[in-house]
Structure 1
Amino acid sequence: MFHGFTSDFLFSQWLFFRFLGLVYLLAFSSLLVQIKGLYSSKGILPAGEYLERVRRRYGIRRFFRCPTLFWINSSDHALIGAGIIGIVFSLLLVTDHLTSVSLLVLWMCYLSFVSIGQDFLMFQWDALLLEIGFLGFLISLDTPSSSFSLLLLWFVNFRFMFSSGIRKLLSGDRTWRNLSALKYHYETQPLPTPLAWYVHKMPVAFHRICTFLVLFIEIVVPFLIFGSNTMRVVAALILAFLQVAIVLTGNYGFFNILSIVILIPLVPDGIWFRLTDSVNTFHSAIHSRAIQHIIHFVTGVLFVLNLLQFIAIFLKSKGVLRLLSIFSPFFLVNSYGLFTVMTTLRYEVNIEGSDDGVNWREYEFKWKPVKENNPLKWNIPHQPRLDWQMWFLALRQHGIDLWFVNLLLRLLEGEGSVLSLLKTNPFPENPPRYIRAVLYEYRFTSTEKRRKTGCWWERKPLGLFCPVINLK
């Protein structure tokens, strides 16, 4: 049925590899400038300390539970070196050099970081990059791709988008079911863009229509992937449009770029300016029949796991979930579904320091709001990992994570690598004697207040999130 049809997608695959390299480049570049503050020996969550805890708990099983190259060396220099290696091989992939080798090295390096990343590297787009990166590696070994592997890539596209939509309805969240979700989203999302403030002011009817369109695009449109070439192109355009719309109002790092890049293999070569003839010289990178059989076997296993992951959306079988969990440390087949329960109120945790316990000064973050006049910004494709985790922390409103305790301790110590993750240090000469965290509720300002004061935010204190602490 599908024999020979992959010859229509040779340039699409080549282009997919190049742009996948670009996404890796963005991911590693963003991570590199944050590595010391997050994972160095004096960072918030030191990699070495985490690996030691894993070693004590799992023993020899640690290599499977936490697959990372940093078992060899987790020093600060090794962390920085791995980030630089990621950038170098990303550039090689972008420029069409050592495609298969680059894809393998990039997947191993990024998996190494995610495995020790703990709270700061557990976002769905980190998992998606690893899943797509490994599948891309398999396809690169078998170019021109077999029908089976290309179909798997299409199915991952379908499952990623469909599950993102259907989980919103299955969650039981009333805002998605009554089409009011986007009335709250622009204000309560982690890092809104300047345009989000204006879109938030649109009429309720506008938000209901947009919410319906989001659900329609995520749930219905993906089925076009399994239709004709024309239907796949239509699906790719509509799904890409959704990602662009998200970019205009929210900062999600490289996520939306990756979500568009994985649509490239849906588009036949004829659409790319009739360049099919120029790419028919692709040949398989691996000529051994035995190795080809191995590649096809692994692809088949991934196909089965993808089907099980799809079934798990509707049927929570313990056996299926247990089987999927076996492969979960490698992020080969992941579960997706952003904002399945919409946040309707925006909470922020702000950190304050003091020399005397009476007069308090706030630490400002580079991207998350602290003061009412903090401007809304675009920071795509960079993802400020600490700012994002502060948003998740505020949602809990009780209980303090290890990473946050460590953050407060590092600020009391005046640790430079951690302070580099922040916008301002209100104690430039000596670190504060005391530190605390205060919980606030934030809202977008009214149009009138915005015009009079220039402020984007108004806030209301709700009480202490973390009581006063000091190094003693």
Structure 2
Amino acid sequence: MSWGWFTADEYWLSRLVFQKMLAALYLVAFVCAVNQFRALLGERGLLPIPRFLERVDFRRAPSLFHLHYSDRFFAVLAGSGAVVSAALLGGVADLLPVWGCLLLWAVPWVLYLSIVNVGQTWYAFGWESLLLETGFLAIFLGPAHTSVPTLVLWLLLWLLFRLEFGAGLIKMRGDRCWRDLTCLYFHHETQPMPGPLSWHFHHLPRWMHRVEALANHGAQLVVPFVLFAPQPAAGVAAGIVIVTQGWLMISGNFSWLNALTITLAVSAVSGTAVGVSAPDDLTAPPLWYGTLIIAVTAGIAVLSYWPVRNLLGRGQVMNYSFNQFHLVNTYGAFGSVTRDRYEVIVEGTDADALSADTVWREYEFKGKPGNPYRRPPQVAPYHLRLDWQLWFLSLSPRYGGRWLPVFVRKLLDGDPDVRRLLRHDPFDGRPPTFLRARLFHYRFTTPAEKAETRAWWVREPVGTVVRTCRLGTDGTPVVV
């Protein structure tokens, strides 16, 4: 049987680079899970997985943890995901037969799906579903010694199209500032987690901010259609996506969202565009493999009904999964842009009694703004889950949900797992006697202010998020 229509060997290099980049991002995701799960989701965490499993059955949230949960088992599972991801990055899958390669790529997908489906608030981000959907399609790309399956490349393009076009539509349908090209007047300052260059991006001339916004519309509303054009047009479109996503990577911290979008765009670049041809000895795909890919493609086509309806409908939603396996999702970002930045600043004191002279000391977090003199750090593609949730909390107390009271209690108790999520504990592991959380308004310093004070931010208190409290005799926070 001839498979000429089924293969696109000019994308051999693209497949190889795509797989390496995806494996690296899988590795980052599992390392994030290993480092943060115990405080956030562990048996004594802020939102314990065992309690979640008591409320939600396997059908609603497929996960290996329905079989068993312990903190040790989670560590083994997430650690195994990191090891397999490192093996994929090292090219182990390319040494295996087709069936072995598919099975090896399926392992991190199953493991990460198991984590996301019990991750609750901490894993409710669009890039989690994006990693799962991308990882699922990657299972079927095959090892380096086989021809490249055309249908899987088209499915990756379809994912990239939905990701970019959905983000563009939600902006045009959302905040008016995207239509009058003024959103970037505010975005670099008010984005969830600014990076080292965000201050400089914020102080670009306003005409450049308008150019940024216009370029974003072109990249997300026009360029995605060109991805389906013949080469070299598709490669040029992919290059534009790569450049614009790279711009976003250096202007802020959005976990692995931008890096994964670039990874998807790589799959649209033909190897011939960079002068690299496929090896002459690629083997033809087995019949069962081709049949499997046709079946997967048909399944994706059916599941595409829901995101297409969402894209065309008037009530478009962002970052939503229509099934428990996070396949063929809808994506989008920044349908609205905040004009002012607020930060939750957590403070404690070890004084025995409160007075007007009480000295309050701040807890410092790893990524989010706190100390005005600290330059915003580069965090992405790593994801600091607590820091991100604190940004949402600054927008509304309702984002504190069930985790904020537990967080306060654990800080008052000096919990070591929670303290590991911090950049600096002002009490060096000793529990404070009193704790509070205040809301501050933040803005970037002007160039003149920065030259004079060397500070990156100007801030002032504007309210209270957690009233002053201490640990009661029953182990729960008591407001004083």
What is the TM-score with the length of structure 2 in the denominator? 0.89
Identity %: 34
Counterpart of 1:59 in structure 2 is: none
**2:102 paired residue number:** 100
1:42 is displaced (CA, Å) by 2.2
Matched, 1:363 2:366: no
> How far apart in 2 are the matches of 1:4 and 1:117?
38
Query: Take 1:206 and 1:200, find their aligned partners in 2: how far apart are those partners?
Result: 10
* Pairwise CA distance, 1:306: 2.3
Equivalent residue, structure 2, for 1:57: none
**Structure 1 residue 8 displacement after superposition:** 2.3
- C-alpha change, 1:435 and 1:408, in structure 2 (3 Å) is same
Confirm or deny: 8 A CA contact 1:9 1:265 kept in the other structure: yes
How far is 1:425 from its partner? 1.4
Mapped to 1, the partners of 2:148 and 2:237 lie a distance apart of 21
Q: Distance in 2 between matches of 1:113 and 1:402?
A: 19
Compared with structure 1, are the counterparts of its residues 398 and 109 closer, same or farther at alpha carbon in structure 2 (3 Å cutoff)? closer
Report the counterpart of residue 414 of structure 2 in structure 1: 414
Distance in 2 (CA, whole Å) between partners of 1:260 and 1:399 is: 30
1:150 aligns with 2:153: yes
1:268-307 aligned within 5 A:
268-277=270-279, 280-284=281-285, 287=286, 289=288, 292-307=290-305
- How far residue 168 of structure 1 moved from its aligned partner, in angstroms, is 0.5
CA distance in 1, matches of 2:277, 2:18: 15
Higher mean C-alpha displacement, 266-275 vs 241-250: 266-275
Task: Give the number of equivalent residue pairs.
Answer: 454
Q: Which residue of 1 is the match for residue 30 of structure 2? A: 28
Q: Check whether the contact 1:44–1:403 (CA below 8 A) recurs between aligned residues.
A: yes
TM-fit CA distance, 1:353:
1.8
Give the whole-Å Cα distance in 2 for the aligned partners of 1:357 and 1:224.
Answer: 64
Identify the residue that residue 169 of structure 1 maps to in structure 2. 172
Match for 2:27: what amino acid?
Answer: L
| Aligned-partner SS, 1:435 | strand
Match of 1:463 in 2: 463
2:430 alignment partner in structure 1: 430
Counterpart of 1:281, as a letter, is L
In the alignment, the residues of structure 2 paired with residue 374 and residue 438 of structure 1 have an alpha-carbon distance, to the nearest angstrom, of: 19
Unaligned segments of structure 2, at least 5 residues: 94-100, 473-480
Equivalent residue number for residue 114 of structure 1: 116
Shift of 1:141: 8.6
Seen in structure 2, the aligned counterparts of structure 1 residues 90 and 400 have a Cα distance that, compared at 3 Å, is closer
TM-score by length of 1: 0.90
User: Counterpart amino acid of 2:430?
Assistant: N
Deviation at 1:343, TM superposition (A): 1.4
* In structure 1, C-alpha distance between the alignment counterparts of 2:315 and 2:203, rounded to whole Å: 43
Q: Which residue of 1 aligns with 2:14?
A: 12
Match of 1:136 in 2: 138
Report the counterpart of residue 85 of structure 1 in structure 2.
Answer: 80
Q: Give the counterpart of 1:328 among 319, 323, 330.
A: 323
Gaps in structure 1 of 5+ consecutive residues: 55-61
Q: For the Cα contact (< 8 Å) 1:127–1:334, is it kept in 2? A: yes
Contact 1:186 1:249 in 2 (8 A): yes
For 1:411-448, what per-residue CA distance to the aligned partner results, in whole angstroms no more than 9, with x for missing partners?
Answer: 11111011010011122253122222111110001111
Q: CA deviation at 1:185?
A: 0.6
For residues 394-405 of structure 1, the aligned pairs below 5 Å read 394-397=394-397, 400-405=400-405
1:275/1:412 Cα in 2 relative to 1: closer, same or farther (>3 Å)? same
- Relative contact order (C-alpha < 8 Å, sep 6+): which is higher? 1
1:297 is aligned with what amino acid? Answer: A
Distance 1:68 1:398 in 2: 28
More helix by share: 1
Q: 8 Å contact 1:224–1:232 — kept in the other structure?
A: yes
Deviation, structure 1 residue 220: 0.6
